[in-house]
């Protein structure tokens, strides 16, 4: 058995170079001590932050510089921590900066309420007195958008007091599903194994239909045992969001959720309507799956069975690098030149070591490189993950290099666009250049699963979430029966007559943690749809597509997400965006059929 390496056993060339942030932990602590005293400056602005244009500008510039110092410390500590979470020195780094950040948050809690104590019209007059304030115009506009949804100081203080209470439904749900729920055992390959939420995703894909059925039945029977408890928690979460939206003068909890990104409700509804009008494509996919897997009847517990379950080809990291750079070369010389910096300047921590955080991410900000954490093993999935995370890194790189600090941070709404564009470009490149039929079928299968899970499944969740909130807003009392009945009907809509719907599927809503994230799931579907249109435009040679995409990457956080996407030629209010993704899905199915 190959032993897991320690951090010290990994060659330096395969580790990220954090010395570009701080040369040593001693330098980190020296700066930390300096910042501890410097953050106290903010108390000098309390009560007079909007007394004049010069005073406001002075605060904004000073706080920016201080934040940059704080987050430079934070990113160093967080990256050091994740490279070896068992290292107590790394744990101390993280804890020390978290304490200072908490203190800074407390010190600056007066800022937004004090800003909102005057009207935005007064701030606009400040721009005439101090033109440099215009650099903060968008930031201030974003703050003052909330004025009509902000209570007086006593009201805000009261809501703040109850903020932890409002989190109780989600906390209770996590405690129940993460800690208290157990699902017993199932028999797999002649051995009794404990079923968990984690390994359920493995056994629902098992080649033995008996294992899939037993895992499905065991899991959802257990959830049905807790239907009253989870209904109460679920309803409590919606009650909190609906009440909060009403108190803050929103027309609905959906409007309140979309407000931060300045997204019109029409975008949300358009997603559901467009997907609803294109159910033929998902039914086509399930019919293909039935045919390929030689199933006369496909149950709901069969839909996760992979058509191409294994592909054992391995790619060295140098091969992965070459493939990713080649695939992304369509984005132009400037993009590739900057992409090469990730490899040449050691932005990437490549291989697993003992204590290293699992998974993968890209993380960095204005005064650091955008670093990438990997646990590279050599599968195609790992190659795709490299492309994905470098998409995030390049988005961060372009955002920071082309904006002032205060306009450099892009919204979550657009965060997955650049990463998914890279994933799709890699897949398209591989399909075009591979001579291996099995490799092509594997990649096509992965793409079909991506579109099925991200477009159709997330839209079904979005439709369910919207209806549940709408019912509460209209005074309907939620019970486990009417919730489960509606969820079952949605499954009938999204699976049609192609899939046999076992009755227990009606309890699936109980195990979806995203229903406690306040209308988040639709962003997955929108993000993939946007990325699809961008990739279509670039690969088809549409005039200006590549240049427009780079403009989007460079926009950072300088505008609202929908406006930034317009720079890339994508109008999220148009059904064409969703339709482009559904057409791509359909073409992938056809390509799979042709090769098959």
pLDDT tens string 34-59: 999 999 989 999 999 999 999 999 99
Tell me the pLDDT of the chain (596 aa) as tens digits.
568 899 999 999 999 999 999 999 999 999 999 999 999 989 999 999 999 999 999 999 999 999 999 999 999 999 999 999 999 999 999 999 999 999 999 999 899 989 999 999 999 999 999 999 999 999 999 999 999 998 887 888 788 788 778 889 998 999 998 888 999 999 999 999 999 998 999 999 999 999 999 999 999 999 999 999 999 999 999 999 999 999 999 999 999 999 999 999 999 999 999 999 999 999 999 999 999 999 999 999 999 999 987 778 999 999 999 999 999 999 999 999 999 999 999 999 999 999 999 999 999 999 999 999 999 999 999 999 999 999 999 999 999 999 999 999 999 999 999 999 999 999 999 999 999 999 999 999 999 999 999 999 999 999 999 999 999 999 999 999 999 999 999 999 999 999 999 999 999 999 999 999 999 999 999 999 999 999 999 999 999 999 999 999 999 999 999 999 999 999 999 999 999 999 999 999 999 999 98
* CA-derived radius of gyration, the chain: 26
* Alpha carbon of residue 112 to chain centroid: 27
Per DSSP, 452 falls in state I
Cα separation, 348 vs 137, in Å, equals 36
Per DSSP, 402 falls in state T
Cα separation, 115 vs 156, in Å, equals 14
Cα separation, 498 vs 492, in Å, equals 10
Classify the C-alpha dihedral 160-166-170-172 as positive or negative.
positive
Cα separation, 213 vs 506, in Å, equals 15
Residue with structure tokens 């799979």? 592
- What is the pairing mode between strands 361-363 and 371-373? antiparallel
Residues forming beta bridges with residue 361, ordered by sequence position: 373
Tokens of 101: 């950040």
Q: Known catalytic residues? A: 389
User: 326-355: per-residue pLDDT in tens?
Assistant: 999 999 999 999 999 999 999 999 999 999
CB-based burial label for 432 (10 Å; 0-12, 13-18, 19+): exposed
Q: Using N-to-C axis directions, what is the helix angle for 227-247 and 209-225, rounded to 10°?
A: 60
> CA dist 379 to 383, 384, 428, 434, Å?
7, 9, 17, 15
Domains of the chain and CATH, by start? 9-150 (1.20.140.70), 182-225 (1.10.287.830), 226-247+250-310+436-596 (1.10.1370.20), 314-412 (no CATH)
DSSP string, 279-300: HHHHHHHHHHHHHHTT-SSEEG
Report the 3 state secondary structure along 373-384: ECCCCCCHHHHH
The reported pLDDT for the residue numbered 332 is 97
CB-based burial label for 310 (10 Å; 0-12, 13-18, 19+): exposed
Per DSSP, 5 falls in state P
The reported pLDDT for the residue numbered 179 is 83
- What is the pairing mode between strands 185-188 and 191-194? antiparallel
Cα separation, 10 vs 15, in Å, equals 7
Cα separation, 389 vs 8, in Å, equals 25
Cα separation, 474 vs 435, in Å, equals 58
């Amino acid at each position: 058995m190959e032993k897991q390496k320690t951090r010290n056993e990994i060659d330096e060339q395969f580790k990220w170079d954090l010395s570009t942030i701080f040369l040593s932990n001693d330098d980190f602590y020296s700066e930390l001590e300096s910042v501890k005293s410097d953050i106290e400056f903010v108390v000098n602005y309390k009560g007079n932050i909007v007394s004049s244009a010069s005073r406001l500008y002075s605060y904004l510039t000073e706080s920016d510089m201080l934040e940059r110092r704080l987050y430079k410390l934070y990113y160093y500590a967080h990256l050091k921590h994740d490279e070896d979470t068992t290292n107590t020195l790394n744990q101390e780094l993280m804890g020390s900066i978290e304490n200072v950040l908490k203190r800074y948050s407390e010190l600056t809690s007066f800022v937004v309420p004090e800003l909102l104590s005057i009207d935005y019209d007064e701030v606009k007059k400040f721009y005439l007195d101090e033109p440099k304030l215009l650099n903060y115009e968008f930031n201030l506009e974003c703050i003052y958008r909330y004025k009509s949804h902000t209570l007086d100081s006593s009201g805000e203080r009261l809501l703040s007091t109850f903020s932890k209470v409002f989190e109780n439904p989600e906390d209770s749900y996590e405690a129940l599903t993460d800690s208290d729920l157990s699902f017993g055992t199932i028999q797999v390959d002649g051995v009794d194994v404990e079923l968990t939420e984690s390994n359920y995703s493995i056994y629902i894909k098992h080649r033995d239909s008996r294992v899939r059925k037993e895992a499905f039945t065991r899991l959802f029977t257990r959830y049905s045992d807790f239907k009253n408890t989870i209904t109460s928690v679920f309803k409590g979460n919606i009650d909190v969001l609906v009440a909060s939206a009403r108190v803050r003068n929103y027309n609905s909890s959906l409007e309140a959720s979309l407000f931060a990104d300045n997204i019109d409700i029409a975008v949300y509804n358009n997603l559901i309507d467009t997907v609803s009008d294109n159910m033929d494509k998902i039914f086509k996919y399930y019919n293909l799956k039935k045919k390929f897997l030689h199933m006369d009847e496909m149950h709901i517990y069969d839909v996760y069975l992979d058509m191409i379950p294994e592909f054992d080809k391995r790619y060295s990291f140098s091969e992965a690098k070459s493939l990713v750079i080649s695939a992304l070369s369509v984005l132009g010389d400037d993009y590739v030149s900057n992409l090469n910096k990730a490899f040449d300047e050691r932005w990437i921590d490549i291989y697993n070591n003992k204590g290293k955080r699992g998974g993968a991410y890209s993380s960095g900000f204005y005064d650091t490189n955008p670093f990438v954490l990997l646990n590279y093993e050599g599968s195609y999935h790992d190659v795709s993950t490299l492309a994905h995370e470098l998409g995030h890194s390049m988005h961060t790189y372009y955002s920071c290099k082309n904006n002032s600090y205060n306009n450099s941070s892009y919204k979550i709404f657009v965060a997955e666009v650049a990463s998914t564009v890279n994933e799709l470009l890699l897949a398209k490149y591989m399909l075009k250049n591979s001579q291996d039929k099995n490799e092509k079928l594997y990649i096509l299968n992965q793409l079909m699963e991506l579109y099925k899970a991200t477009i159709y499944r997330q839209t079904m969740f979005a439709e369910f979430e919207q209806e549940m909130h709408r019912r509460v807003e209209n005074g309907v009392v939620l019970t486990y029966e009417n919730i489960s009945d509606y969820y079952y009907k949605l499954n009938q809509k999204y699976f049609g007559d192609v899939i046999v719907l076992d009755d227990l599927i009606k309890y699936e809503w109980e195990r979806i943690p995203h229903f406690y994230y306040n209308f988040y799931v639709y962003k997955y579907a929108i993000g993939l749809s946007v990325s699809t249109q961008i990739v279509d435009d670039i690969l088809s040679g549409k005039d200006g597509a590549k240049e427009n995409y780079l403009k989007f990457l460079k926009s950072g956080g300088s505008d609202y997400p929908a406006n930034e996407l317009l720079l890339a030629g994508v109008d999220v209010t148009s059904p064409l965006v969703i339709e482009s993704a559904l057409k791509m899905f359909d073409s992938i199915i056809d390509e799979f059929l042709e090769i098959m």
